[in-house]
Structure 1
């Protein structure tokens, strides 16, 4: 691993979450492809991408700015999970599993932000 972000556990967890969201959206109805599917995948990918982009050796303040973007995107994934559950594209058990994954990433991002201040 040669990039700083690759060593971050939070980035690895976010990458796992993005993969889980990608798998989930493959089961969505076709009419959601340009709506919920796209939004949810972009939000999950944004968490991963913002952590990576922010870690590029800039100042801690700049890294924190990108981590806050990642945090917002993680929360967006949670909101999408609620829509997914409400539209009955996901059962309660899978909702809770993914919800807890989002929560874990959120806690880790917040801890990283705190450590950089």
Structure 2
């Protein structure tokens, strides 16, 4: 077997409206049509998708509350990390800078799922 690329990541959320506001409005991800009938929202990021799936009794746990990046998370790339930080903080979201020294931060979505945002400079 040879894996050729990653197709999507599914993220469980308890409140679809709050999650859609975070992923669609604050992060600015592009919403795409879904083909499944259960509650959720799909976003397109390049040739990759993020699927939000509603789980009304969701309990999110962070085994490592000190370093958010040492928990399950999804990583997204931006070209201007300072702009991303400002946008997130303007919307009331706390950010945690990567302790590795990389140009990266971690933020929690409304359900406490961790999102890594890393600055990537294209040549």
TM-score of the pair, normalised by structure 2: 0.28
TM-score of the pair, normalised by structure 1: 0.29
Question: More strand by proportion, 1 or 2?
Answer: 2
Question: More helix by proportion, 1 or 2?
Answer: 1
Larger RCO, structures 1/2 (Cα 8 Å, 6+ apart): 1
